[in-house]
Amino acid sequence: MSHWQELEHKYYMNTFKRTPLTLVKGQGARVWDEDGREYLDFVAGWAVNNLGHCPPVVIEAVTGQVQTLIQTSNQFYTIPQIRLAELLVQNSCLDKVFFCNSGAEANEGAVKLARRYGQCYLSRAYEVITAMSSFHGRTLAMVAATGQTKFQKPYIPLPTGFVNVEYNSIEAIKAATTKQTCAVMLEPVQGESGVNLPDDNYLAAVQAWCDQKGILLILDEIQTGLGRTGTLFAYEQYGIEPDIMTLAKGLAGGIPIGAILAKDRASVFTPGEHGSTFGGNPLACAAGYATLQFILDNDIAGNARRVGQYLTTGLEGLREKFQFITDVRGCGLLVALEFSSDIAQSMVTVCLDRGLLVNQVKPNALRFMPALTIGNEEVDEALGILDSALASINQRLE
C-alpha cells in the first residue's frame, strides 16, 4: 500500500472498496498513477468523463468563468445558468430546468416535484413507483427509491412513499398503482445493477399507463444521458417522452452538477418551494454549456453508438472464445460482460496489472463506460488486454 493509500485508511471514512491505485493525472481516455504509470480508463469517473479527462473545451470554459464569476446566490440571474437551461430545452422534449449539484439531489428534487404535482392535481397523491435493481442515489429518500435491499437495510426505517416493483413488468406497475400514486420513476437502462436493458415496448407501455392514469413518468437519465447510450438521451430510442428527467454525471465534463428537467405541465414549483445554494452556479453551468455544445457539434452520441457497436462486436468475439462469458449486453458505450462465476474482481485486478481500468458492476459482471470520444483503436487496445486477462483467468479456472 502506498503512502497516500495508508493516509486514506487513516483519515477517510470507510465507504469505498477502492482499487489500489492512486490517480494523479488524466488526459482523454488515459490516466496516470503516482508512479507515472499510464492506464486506459474504461471507468471514466463512473460514466462522468464523457469527453475524456480534462477536455480542452471544459478547461477553456472553466478558466474563463473562474476569472469572471464563480458563485452568486440564486437571488440573482446569472447568464451561464440561463444559457445551459436554454440549450437543454432546445435539445430535449422538456420545457423547464432546475440545476443542483449531484444525481441524488436531482432525483430528490424530481420526487418533490412529482409530489407537488400530486398535491395540485391528483388529490394529494404522493407515492412513487420505482423498479427493483434500480439505483437512484444515496440520500435517504433515494435509498428508499432504489430497489435494492443491500442499500436500504443499514438505514431502516426509510422515508415512506416509495413502492419498488419488478423491473420490466408493466403488470407489476399496474398492480402497484393506487389513488396515492403520483409518478413512476425508472432508469431507461439500469446502470449500477449490471446494465439491464428494458424489454421491447416496456417503456412505451409504462408511458401509456402513466398517461392513462394521469400520473407522471420520471426518467433518471443520470447515467444514460448526454450521449452515453448512443443518442443524446436514452428515451429517444424508445419512442417515449418523460414528463420529468434527471441528469448529472456527464453534464459538465467532470465538474459537479445535477439537473431536473420537466414538461411545462409538470413544472409546478412556485418560489420558495425548492432551491439550492450552489445549484446552477456560473462555474458549473459554463462547464455544462461547453460540454453539451461540444457533444452536439461533434455528434458525440453518434460516436458512442458506432464505437459502442464495435466494442460489443469485439466482446461477442471474446464470448465465442471463452465459454465462461455468459452475456454481452449494452447500449452505446454502456456495456456489460457477464461471467458464469464470480470472477469480476479478479478481472479488475488482472486488467489493472495490464494497464486497463474496468468496473466490477456485479460479482460476476464487468461494466465498460469509457469516454464517448474514444475510437476503435482504444477499443482494440482494451479488447487485447481483456483477451489476455481472460486467458490468464481461464488458466486458473482449469
Ligand X SMILES: Cc1ncc(COP(=O)(O)O)c(C=O)c1O
CB of 139 or CB of 169, closer to ligand X: 139
Contact segment (CB under 6 A) with ligand X among 77-85, 98-106, 307-315, 332-340 equals 98-106
Q: How far is the CB of 135 from ligand X (least distance, A)?
A: 5
Contact segment (CB under 6 A) with ligand X among 16-24, 130-138, 211-219, 298-306 equals 130-138
Q: How far is the CB of 317 from ligand X (least distance, A)?
A: 28
Residues tagged active-site: 135, 220, 249
CA atoms within 13 A on the CB side of 161: 17
Question: Among 26, 80, 118, 137, which residue interacts with ligand X (rule: CB under 6 A)?
Answer: 137
Torsion (CA) 192, 197, 198, 200 in degrees, nearest 10: 180
Rule CB under 6 A: which of 273-332 touch ligand X? none
What are the phi and psi torsion angles at 354 (to 5°)? -100, 10
CB of 130 or CB of 385, closer to ligand X: 130
Q: Is 68 left (phi over 0), alpha (psi -120 to 50) or beta?
A: alpha
CA distance 18 to 195: 21
Please name the amino acid found at residue 394: N
Rule CB under 6 A: which of 36-95 touch ligand X? 46
Rule CB under 6 A: say whether 338 interacts with ligand X.
no
Element (H, E) at 391: helix 376-397
Q: How far is the CB of 256 from ligand X (least distance, A)?
A: 8
The pairing of beta strand 258-262 with beta strand 244-247: antiparallel
CB of 94 or CB of 393, closer to ligand X: 94
Question: Among 96, 116, 136, 305, which residue interacts with ligand X (rule: CB under 6 A)?
Answer: 136
Q: How far is the CB of 132 from ligand X (least distance, A)?
A: 14
CB of 136 or CB of 305, closer to ligand X: 136
Sketch the per residue contact string, 102 through 121, with ligand X: x for CB under 6 A, - otherwise: xxx--x--------------
Rule CB under 6 A: which of 356-395 touch ligand X? none
Task: Give whole-number Cα distances, 369 to 6, 252, 262, 293, in Å.
Answer: 29, 17, 27, 21
Please name the amino acid found at residue 249: K
Per the DSSP assignment, residues forming a β-bridge with 97 are 261
Question: Which residues 6+ apart lie within 8 Å of 340 measured at CB?
Answer: 323, 324, 325, 326, 364
Q: How far is the CB of 170 from ligand X (least distance, A)?
A: 20
Which residue is nearest to ligand X, using beta carbons? Answer: 103
Q: Is 324 left (phi over 0), alpha (psi -120 to 50) or beta?
A: alpha
Supply 209's cell numbers: 399507463
- Owner of C-alpha cell 459537479: 256
CA distance 105 to 163: 19
- Residue 104, classified by CB atoms within 10 Å of its CB into exposed (0-12), middle (13-18) or buried (19+), is buried
Q: Which of 308, 310, 309, 312 is nearest to 370 (CA)?
A: 308
Supply 81's cell numbers: 445558468
Q: How far is the CB of 253 from ligand X (least distance, A)?
A: 15
Question: Among 98, 99, 135, 294, which residue interacts with ligand X (rule: CB under 6 A)?
Answer: 135
Contact segment (CB under 6 A) with ligand X among 97-105, 167-175, 205-213, 324-332 equals 97-105
> What is the sign, positive or negative, of the torsion defined by CA atoms of 239, 244, 248, 251?
positive
Q: How far is the CB of 385 from ligand X (least distance, A)?
A: 25
CA distance 206 to 198: 11
Rule CB under 6 A: which of 181-240 touch ligand X? 187, 191-192, 220, 222-223
CB of 103 or CB of 288, closer to ligand X: 103
CB of 247 or CB of 286, closer to ligand X: 247
Q: How far is the CB of 378 from ligand X (least distance, A)?
A: 23
CB of 256 or CB of 314, closer to ligand X: 256
CB of 50 or CB of 223, closer to ligand X: 223
# binding residues, ligand X (CB under 6 A): 15
Are 53 and 27 in contact, with CB atoms under 8 Å apart?
A: yes
Task: Give the interface with ligand X as residue ranges (CB under 6 A).
Answer: 46, 102-104, 107, 135-137, 187, 191-192, 220, 222-223, 248
